[in-house]
Amino acid sequence: MGRVAIVTGGTRGIGEAICKRLQRQGHTVIANYAGNDEKAAAFTEATGIPARKWDVGDHEACLAGCAAVEAEFGPVDIVVNNAGITRDGTLHKMSFEDWNEVLRINLGGCFNMAKATFPGMRERGWGRIVNIGSINGQAGQYGQVNYAAAKSGIHGFTKALAQEGAKFGVTVNAIAPGYIDTDMVAAVPAPVLEKIVAKIPVGRLGMAEEIARGVAFLTSENGGFMTGSTMSINGGQHMY
């Protein structure tokens, strides 16, 4: 059955792969994005998937953005909280702004999107929320106190909201990707990234599509008994 799905940060990287996969599953997909208009236009041109711009870290913008999507496409039954940024740096060099922006967008975005969509799912008795966490929220990462805290927070948020949604047919799960071949990972200095890849047992970066396949399962009817869990897709880098 086709449903309405929003994927945040949906026009690039892992989000783009998730949008395309959900579209192939027969859903009406809307990609949210915050910055790159040119890339969003190219994405819509190539896929036919509409892109809508708002900052998921801005509570009011998020409520308004989701309301506009519902007015245009109908009730939102599937939300994939994928939008995220990095502002890496060791703590002694990290500014308060770099700490706050990562928490505001990566973790705050999950709260804001859930506030906008979870009540409707609860009332209708069906919903799927998938939050994209990270291996670095599970294991920590040198130079990422902000990102690791936000991603670790996503895992706690997931387990708490899953308990609230369970009796209403709303599942809430997380996926913890390892290092995936995206612009975000490409921004890691090459010598640092080489050392990281050397520690991945399967010997390579992951592909965005490998995360999208996990989302496809969690958002399907078949995923109905799985809630509050974290699916680790990391090439064996962290066995948790």
d(CA 220, CA 177): 19
Cα torsion angle, 214, 209, 125, 32, sign: positive
Bridge partners of 202, per DSSP, are: none
Nearest distance in Å: CB 210, ligand CAA: 13
Nearest distance in Å: CB 59, ligand CAA: 24
Q: Give the residue at shortest CB distance from ligand CAA.
A: 143
**Which CB atom, from 28 or from 237, has the smaller least distance to ligand CAA?**
237
d(CA 85, CA 199): 23
Nearest distance in Å: CB 83, ligand CAA: 13
Nearest distance in Å: CB 63, ligand CAA: 27
Give residue 109's identity as a one-letter amino acid code: G
Among residues 33, 142, 147, 179, which one is catalytic?
Answer: 147
Give the tokens for residue 151: 């991603």
Contacts of residue 26, Cβ cutoff 8 Å, sequence gap at least 6: 1, 2
Query: Cβ distance 116 to 56 under 8 Å?
Result: no
**Which CB atom, from 183 or from 221, has the smaller least distance to ligand CAA?**
183
Which helix or strand (DSSP H or E) is residue 108 part of? helix 108-124
**Which CB atom, from 34 or from 132, has the smaller least distance to ligand CAA?**
132
d(CA 230, CA 82): 14
d(CA 6, CA 33): 11
**Which CB atom, from 162 or from 185, has the smaller least distance to ligand CAA?**
185
Nearest distance in Å: CB 168, ligand CAA: 30
Residue 169: left (phi > 0), alpha (psi -120 to 50), or beta?
A: left
The contact set with ligand CAA (CB under 6 A) reads 86, 88-90, 134-136, 141-144, 147, 177, 179, 184-185, 188-189, 192
**Which CB atom, from 144 or from 227, has the smaller least distance to ligand CAA?**
144
* 147 classed as catalytic: yes
**What are the catalytic residues?**
147
